[in-house]
Structures are given as C-alpha cells and as structure tokens.
C-alpha cells in the first residue's frame, strides 16, 4: 500500500502503527519528520504541497499544513523538525522554504 506510512518499534522491528490520509504512489518520494515531543509525525502529500500532521496515539490526521494555511503550491521535497522546539521546516518544488511553528 503506497499511501501508508508505517511506524516501527526500533527495539524489535515490529510494526506498531499504520498512518493513512495522504496520497503517494510508487513514484513518490515520501518525507517524514517526528515532532519534538514524539507524539506527532509530519508527512508530505504527493499531489499538492500539503503536510499532514498525524497523532501517533490515535493514528489520525489532526492538522493539514496546506496552501490555504500559507503552505506550498507544489509537492514538498524535504522536511526537517527541530528536536528542541515546535519548529518544522519544509522545502518544495515551488522553490520556496517554509518555517512552521506547529504547537501541539
């Protein structure tokens, strides 16, 4: 399933969560970043410039960072989340870099 992000337990390699709600295909290049609290995962959506924010405990999308929220107009190339603050940095094929303050 190409539109699924899988969360694994690094201590034993077991799958603990499946995250759905975004679209990717066999040619996409999914990007993922963890929030500083470890409670959320940020991931790109292939068809537009949006970034999904998943709550790990419930496996649901709790927020979308999209063009209406000041986001990218083309697909996201890369994501970086600070491990010290609620800061997310994204860069896109629209040749822009966005700095997000994502308090959760």
Q: Report the predicted TM-score, pTM, of the whole model to 2 decimal places.
A: 0.82
At a CB cut-off of 8 Å and minimum separation 6, what does 104 contact? 35, 37, 39, 40, 53, 62, 86
Q: How many CB atoms within 10 Å of residue 39?
A: 13
The tokens for 19 are: 């995250």
Residue pLDDT, tens place only, 21-55: 776 666 667 788 999 998 999 988 877 889 999 99
Average pLDDT in the chain? 86
Q: Would you give the end-to-end CA distance of the chain in angstroms?
A: 29
In Å, how far from its chain's centre is CA 47?
A: 14
């Amino acid at each position: 399933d190409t539109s699924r992000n899988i969360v694994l337990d690094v201590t034993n390699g077991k799958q603990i969560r499946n995250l759905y709600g975004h679209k990717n295909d066999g040619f996409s290049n999914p990007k993922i970043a963890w929030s500083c609290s470890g409670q959320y995962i940020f991931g790109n959506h292939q068809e537009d410039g949006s970034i999904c924010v998943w709550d790990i405990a419930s496996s649901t999308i709790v927020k979308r960072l999209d063009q209406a929220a000041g986001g990218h107009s083309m697909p996201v190339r890369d994501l970086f989340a600070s491990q010290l603050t609620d800061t997310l940095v994204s860069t896109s094929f629209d040749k822009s870099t966005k700095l997000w303050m994502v308090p959760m």
